[in-house]
A and B are shown apart, each in its own frame.
Chain A
Amino acid sequence: MKKTCFLFVTTILSWSVIEGISFGQGTATYAPTHLSCCETKEAVPIRIAYLKEASPDKEDVEPADSPGETFPDPLEPLNRVFFEFNDKLYFYVLKPAARGYKTVVPEEIRFCVRNFFNNLAYPVRLVNNLFQGKVAGAVEETCGFFANTVVGLGGLADIAKAVDLKKHEEDLGQTLAVYGAGPAFYINWPFFGPSTLRDTIGTVGDAFLDPLNYLDGWYSAGARGFNTVNETSLRIGDYESLKKAALDPYVALRDAYYQNRLSKIRE
Chain B
Amino acid sequence: MRILIFRMSAACFALGVLILSVTVCTEVRAQTPAVDPAATQILQKMTDYLGSIKQFSVHTQNTLEDVLDSGHRVDFDISASVIVSRPNRLLAERRGDLIDQDFYYDGESLTLYNPADKVYATEPAPDTIEGVLDFARESLGIVVPAADLIYRNAFSLLMQDVIFAAVVGKAVIEGVKCDHLLFSRPGVDFQIWVAEAGQPLPFKYVVTDTTTPKLISITTVMSDWNIAPSADDARFSFEPPLGVKQINFMPLETSSGSNP
State yes or no: do A and B come from one complex.
no
Listed in ascending order, the chain B residues whose CB lies under 8 Å from chain A are none
Listed in ascending order, the chain A residues whose CB lies under 8 Å from chain B are none
